[in-house]
Structure 1
Amino acid sequence: MSAVSDALKDARTEYEQHLGACRQCRADAAPCAVAKHLWRLYNKARRDRLRAESA
């Protein structure tokens, strides 16, 4: 289960770092395509963690 938790933490960290570093994300109110993709990866990791906990 540690690998699942690590994946979730890594996905969240990558998303937050991108938001802080991306000029487009900082300038616009809407996230860029890369930020949306990273958010989808975070959501997938979150769902995987929930599945692992319920199993």
Structure 2
Amino acid sequence: MAQLKITLVHSAAHRLPKQRKIVKALGLGRVNSSVIKPDNEATRGALFKIAHLIKVEQID
């Protein structure tokens, strides 16, 4: 099963509250923090909402 490495590259401060909640729900705290999440529809939907704040890499 493929996994995604998600890295926060821009701060979530001064963003919409919904976007800040998504960043926190993914487990990203500070700029340059990374998490590994499964590649599924729920994760992809969350990433679509904050695509301008993150960098995504696919891991096998």
State TM-score, norm by structure 2: 0.30
Higher strand share: 2
Q: Which gives a bigger RCO, structure 1 or 2 (Cα 8 Å, sep 6+)?
A: 2
**Based on CA coordinates, which of the two structures has the bigger radius of gyration?**
1
TM-score of the superposed pair, with normalisation by structure 1: 0.32
